[in-house]
Amino acid sequence: MNKATSKLREEARRLYLTSEMTTNSEIAARLRLKPHTVGAWRKQEDWDGLKLKVDKRAAEMFVEKIATDRVTLNLRHYNYFEYVLNEIRETLKSSKGKMSVKELGELVAIIEKAQKGQRLAKGLSMSGETEETIRAQAHAELNKAIDIVRQAIKENITDEATRDRIGRAILAALPAEPGTGTDDEHDEVAH
């Protein structure tokens, strides 16, 4: 392969992997090539597989950034509310019981808000549920919905091959999270 062809091939790959252009004919028109040439390169180098890996890694990095930002923000909120509570404590010490009922009522309201803020910053709900508990409940509701759909398909579609295709399509559309059961090896619907 000569140098010019190699550069064209690299540019075609770049256009596809960056999603600047998504079809063989678009890339071919831009680079003044034939669409079947771009198609052959795409197949030989498995551009679709590469694009999937690139997109998956980008999504993973985005999720990591969101999680990091969330933890940082929660820590800032927690520290802020800790500071507010410390300031209130110092104010109460220095007042030596010379505060009016109205002022004490306002302080109680501030303390309650600070405690709620700290609970939220720690990932706890106002009712005391943890984020993990809430996720487990959501997962249980998702499983219940899946079971309802499976039962409706089983009762209303007599062709077993069609039922199987529908079941696989539903499972493929669901997000696969570790430990959710949607991608477990022992899941009878998935296999």
The predicted-structure confidence for 18-36, as pLDDT tens digits, reads as follows 888 889 999 999 999 999 9
Q: Are 179 and 139 in contact (CB under 8 A)?
A: no
Q: Is 116 left (phi over 0), alpha (psi -120 to 50) or beta?
A: alpha
Q: For position 8, what pLDDT does the model report? A: 92
Q: How many other C-beta atoms lie within 10 A of the C-beta of residue 169?
A: 9
Domain residue spans in the chain? 3-45, 54-128, 130-191
HSE-CB of 6 using CA atoms within 13 angstroms: 3
CA–CA distance, 55 with 17 (Å, rounded to integer): 9
For residue 13, pLDDT over 50 is answered with yes
The overall average pLDDT reported for the chain is 78
